[in-house]
Chains A and B, each alone.
Chain A
Amino acid sequence: DAGITQSPRHKVTETGTPVTLRCHQTENHRYMYWYRQDPGHGLRLIHYSYGVKDTDKGEVSDGYSVSRSKTEDFLLTLESATSSQTSVYFCAISESGTSGNQPQHFGDGTRLSIL
Chain B
Amino acid sequence: GNSVTQMEGPVTLSEEAFLTINCTYTATGYPSLFWYVQYPGEGLQLLLKATKADDKGSNKGFEATYRKETTSFHLEKGSVQVSDSAVYFCALNQAGTALIFGKGTTLSVSS
A contact residues vs B (CB 8 Å cutoff): 4, 33, 40-45, 48, 58, 90, 92, 97-109
Contact = CB atoms under 8 A, between A and B. Distances in A.
A106 B94 contact: no
A98 B96 contact: yes
Contact of B104 (A42, A104, A107): A42
A103 B43 contact: no
Interface stretch (B13-21, B45-53, B75-83): B45-53
Nearest to B29: A100
A59 B105 CA distance: 21
Contacts, number: 57
A43 B41 CA distance: 15
Contacts of A58: 98
Interface string B16-49: 0000000000000001101010000111111001
- The 8 tightest CB contacts between A and B, nearest first, are A106-B43, A100-B95, A42-B103, A101-B51, A42-B101, A101-B32, A106-B44, A103-B46
